[in-house]
Structure 1
């Protein structure tokens, strides 16, 4: 029990609170930010993945319960995603265990998480661009259920489940982007609700696989939950006061640079690339927005217009 009151446990709690704020603000970045943060704090990669998955299963269950009560998720889509994701997510811990001894597993996970972070950064960037396209396309929120592509949806779940099962990264990034591409007429709230509902059994299965093979480190798990839960709540309360587009672009940069660091890119190159992204990234994004007829820089809220409320899709309040 005394392990819960050490400086290391306090560091985990503080980091979990900070990551929770980001997740509450944007709904993005949970495992993609928390797992590498734990590794940078000196926690073994296998333990970082296992305990982050267990903590995420608690937090995502709360979020899914809220969306279930509002009736927003598409339960058929969620069921298809779960069919594909759960068995592969559960197998993740056993795949890592089969790699070799502790040193080999740590090296494998560090590399796998690095590539997963680069993939997550790219998927977040694609998500922002797709939102921009929806805005300029003048899309109107559809009241009809989308045509379900069962086989493709199951395949998306399987790929996402495998990635989450091994690295804990991907449940809120890759699957969400895939849903956007497959079902572009679904509203944002239904997409988020569907993703959260399917993520609960996905993360639970992944957590179970890692707990059976790696076990639980209470000195890591307890601070993750105690810090992450109020952080997420606090971030959600601040969401209306903070520019979503700026934070999301910041997450993309952080994930990309973290992925490079975990893949062993020399620190000076990581710094140079980071400085270039900070300086040139806003200019490139502003140029892309201008090319689509939107103001160079402003805040975003939604990519959809309600049928009975059709503002100019190029207005400042509806642009990403």
Structure 2
């Protein structure tokens, strides 16, 4: 079983570094569906897992000059307070109740379906926005903070959103940024967000530290290798395959 977790960690870490698709989009459903981990425990453990693995991504992308720290600060200004607010909400309910489990599964399923669409449309969106920006320049900074608020709540509740959704929204807001910069910036922002959300879940008792350690054995080398290959590998077919998997898993959770 431990070996299975290590393999899962490596695959997810590699894909996070390579494509910018968030670990939550992949790891949380893997833990729930294949390893039968309780939803709240899967989300909480995955959030701390993501904060550590994406720290490795910061090192790799930072070395390559792929991070815009001004955008990271704007996102965090919205996402960190939103994450705190979501943790307070989760503290007020029983996360192991039937209703809470159903809500987390449904929310995760919807987030995965939206994520799959975002992954599929990324190239088309980049082509469209290369001609004209959708957001007037004077609203870009405030829109970035609002994006952070949305991501903060979504990521804390489901662990999904910091990757593909974040990257796609940043492409809309910053169409003239290189995709490697968008991916690197998104990963850099995900670290404080997932750390705050993960520590909040730890305070709720919804983190399995043994599982976390096992996942990290595989994921740290995975994300490091994926980050270094991100500018060299044609990811088109990988994204199509990921989208198909996310749509399938999303509908499975929604209709369960």
State the TM-score, normalizing by the size of structure 2.
0.87
1:81 is matched with which residue?
A: 75
Question: Equivalent residue for 1:98?
Answer: 92
Closer, same or farther: CA 186–134 of 1 in aligned 2, 3 Å: same
State the Cα deviation string for residues 278-317 of structure 1 (Å, max 9, x = none): xxxxxxxxxxxxxxxxxxxxxxxxxxxxxxxxxxxxxxxx
Contact 2:40–2:206 (CA under 8 A) maintained in structure 1: no
1:69 CA drift (Å): 4.1
Match of 2:152 in 1: 161
* Aligned counterpart for 1:24 among listed residues 6, 9, 17: 17
Cα deviation, residue 50, structure 1: 0.6
CA gap 1:55/1:180 in 2 versus in 1, 3 angstroms? same
**Per the alignment, in what secondary structure is the counterpart of residue 149 of structure 1?**
helix
| 152, 156, 167: which one aligns with 2:143 | 152
Residues 224 and 154 from structure 1, CA distance in 2 versus in 1: closer, same or farther, beyond 3 angstroms? same
Q: Could you say which structure has the greater relative contact order, defined with CA pairs below 8 angstroms and 6 or more residues apart?
A: 2
1:119 pairs, out of 110, 114, 123, with: 114
User: C-alpha offsets along residues 264-289 of structure 1, whole Å, 9 cap, x if unaligned?
Assistant: 26xxxxxxxxxxxxxxxxxxxxxxxx
For the aligned residues, what is the CA RMSD?
2.3
Distance 1:208 1:130, change over 3 A: same
Deviations 1:235-286 (A, max 9, x none): 4566678541000011111111100001126xxxxxxxxxxxxxxxxxxxxx
What are the equivalent positions in structure 2 for 1:176-195 lying under 5 Å apart? 176-195=167-186
Distance change >3 Å, CA 219–CA 72, structure 1 → 2: closer
CA contact (8 A) 1:39 1:48 kept: yes
Say if 2:106 and 2:253, in contact at 8 Å, map to a contact too: yes
Q: Deviations over 1:106-140 (max 9, x none)?
A: 222111111110111122122122134367x5x9x
Residue in 1 that maps onto 2:198 = 207
Kindly indicate whether the alpha-carbon contact (under 8 Å) linking 2:118 and 2:168 is maintained by their aligned counterparts in 1. yes
| CA-CA distance at 1:101 after TM superposition | 5.2
Assess if the C-alpha contact under 8 Å between 1:99 and 1:108 holds in 2: no
Q: Considering only CA atoms, is the larger Rg found in Structure 1 or Structure 2?
A: 1
Per the normalisation by structure 1, the TM-score is 0.71
Q: Residue in 2 aligned with 1:172?
A: 163
Q: Does 1:38 align with 2:55?
A: no
More helix by share: 2
What's the secondary structure of 2:36's corresponding residue? Answer: coil
